[in-house]
């Protein structure tokens, strides 16, 4: 998520939004524009791509106006600006114009790093907009979205929403907004299931949950639905591996409160409770067999076999049988 910058005035002369998460970059721009229009409803907004900001263009845009109007100049993909234009922008950092806010969106990589360094040295306000590649980051994003709009959602509901929607932050944000608008009181896992049942059933984590619970038929049904709706096989093997490893970790851990085990194993407390329920039929030999099955399936879906779907089905059946070893 976008971290709070040291300079948190959206009307600072220069703002740099750094990263590759489109939703967060757009929100950084929207925050500046909203603050400018709150100060002056007639604020002029110019939203430019690198090819539109040629040498001399910035000077024209920031030249004194007869009407002294407030202006926001947004430059997207600033890392792609030409060398001559970068010189213009760096020069502007030294003498920004009052009533004008310059917003630079920069991918944050090595390309165009000189411009980024110069902006930071000049004291620009910075908003971090990193790409959220980890499920834990997307989960934190969903929780923050609910907090921002003043609504309560259980940890299980937040996780179910991430499982159902996937990695698209815009869709996650839209789902949070929809649930908050439609549902009164605390939003729980059952509510998420009602709204997103088709997508939730297609989730790789649903496949894994049903498998480690020993519910082979349901796991296979969820697997086929997942594959039919375009879930990548590698995501399913990853979810299966996480589910089996969680069983193994908790079965070998010392007893204790969920909070203590959560710190020891690196899991949220609610997940400790869920895994405890799932591990009742497991044995150490069953965990070992399941991990071997996941490894074979992983190799199968990454080119080591002729039929990735069969490799996954075989793994799911093996895991479900291992989950019922004590029953």
pLDDT of residue 6: 47
**b/e burial code for range 131-159 (CB count within 10 A of at least 16 → b):** ebeebebbbebbbebbeeeebebbebbbb
Q: What is the DSSP string of 37-53?
A: HHH-TT-EEEEE-GGG-
Which is nearest to 119 in space by CA: 103, 97, 99, 98? 103
> pLDDT band at residue 254, thresholds of 50, 70 and 90?
low
Q: Is the model's pLDDT at 179 over the cut of 80? A: yes
Which pTM value belongs to this model? Answer: 0.63
Q: Is the model's pLDDT at 317 over the cut of 60? A: yes
Question: What crossing angle do the helices spanning 233-252 and 308-323 adopt, rounded to 10°?
Answer: 20
Cα(280)–Cα(197) distance, integer angstroms = 27
Give the neighbor-by-neighbor strand order of the sheet with 44-48.
Answer: 44-48, 71-75, 100-106, 14-19, 125-129
pLDDT of residue 262: 67
Residues paired with residue 104 on neighbouring β-strands, in sequence order: 16, 75
Q: What is the mean pLDDT of the chain?
A: 87
CA angle (202 as vertex; 233, 225 as ends), nearest 5: 80
Q: Is the model's pLDDT at 244 over the cut of 70? A: yes
Q: What percent of the chain has pLDDT over 70?
A: 88
Asked if 125 and 95 count as a contact pair (C-beta separation under 8 A), the reply is no
Cα(104)–Cα(8) distance, integer angstroms = 16
> pLDDT band at residue 118, thresholds of 50, 70 and 90?
very high
Residues paired with residue 45 on neighbouring β-strands, in sequence order: 72
Cα(303)–Cα(281) distance, integer angstroms = 33
Torsion of CA 273, 277, 282, 284, to 10 degrees: 10
Tokens of 186: 């605390």
Work out the average pLDDT over 77-88: 95
Work out the average pLDDT over 204-216: 89
Phi-psi region of 226 (alpha: psi -120 to 50; beta: other; left: phi over 0): alpha
Hey, which of 63-72, 203-212, 245-254, 287-296 has the most confident mean pLDDT? 287-296
**b/e burial code for range 82-112 (CB count within 10 A of at least 16 → b):** eeebbebbbebbeebbebbbbbbbbbbeeeb
Q: Is the model's pLDDT at 2 over the cut of 70? A: no
| Secondary structure (3-state) at 19 | strand
Hey, which of 149-158, 202-211, 263-272 has the most confident mean pLDDT? 149-158
pLDDT of residue 277: 84
Tokens of 312: 């996954």
Work out the average pLDDT over 207-232: 87
| Secondary structure (3-state) at 283 | coil
């Amino acid at each position: 998520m976008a971290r709070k910058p040291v300079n948190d005035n959206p009307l600072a002369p220069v703002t740099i939004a750094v990263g590759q998460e489109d939703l967060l970059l757009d929100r950084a721009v929207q925050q500046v524009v909203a603050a400018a229009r709150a100060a002056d409803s007639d604020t002029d907004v110019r939203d430019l791509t690198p090819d539109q900001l040629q040498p001399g263009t910035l000077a024209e845009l920031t030249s004194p106006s007869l009407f002294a109007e407030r202006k926001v100049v947004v430059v997207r993909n600033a890392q792609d600006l030409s060398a001559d234009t970068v010189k213009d922008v760096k020069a502007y950092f030294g003498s920004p114009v009052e009533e004008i806010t310059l917003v630079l969106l920069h991918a944050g990589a090595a390309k165009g790093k000189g411009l980024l360094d110069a902006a930071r040295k000049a004291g620009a306000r910075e908003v971090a907009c990193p790409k959220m590649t980890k499920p834990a980051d997307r989960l934190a994003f969903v929780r923050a979205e609910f907090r921002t709009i003043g609504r309560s959602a259980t940890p299980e509901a937040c996780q179910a929403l991430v499982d159902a929607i996937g990695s698209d932050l815009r869709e996650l944000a839209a789902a949070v907004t929809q649930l908050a608008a439609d549902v009164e009181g605390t939003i729980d896992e059952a509510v998420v299931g009602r709204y997103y049942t088709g997508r939730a059933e297609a989730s790789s984590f649903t496949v894994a949950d049903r498998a480690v619970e020993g519910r082979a038929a349901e796991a296979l049904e969820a697997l086929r639905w997942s594959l039919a709706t375009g879930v990548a096989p590698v995501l399913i093997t990853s979810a299966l591996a996480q589910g089996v490893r969680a069983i193994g970790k908790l079965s070998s851990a010392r007893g204790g409160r969920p909070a203590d085990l959560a710190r020891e194993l690196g899991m949220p407390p609610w997940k400790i409770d869920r895994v405890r329920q799932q591990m009742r039929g497991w044995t150490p030999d069953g965990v070992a067999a399941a991990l071997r099955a996941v490894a074979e399936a992983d190799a199968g879906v990454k080119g080591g076999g002729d039929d990735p779907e069969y490799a996954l089905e075989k793994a799911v059946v093996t895991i479900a049988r291992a989950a019922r070893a004590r029953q």
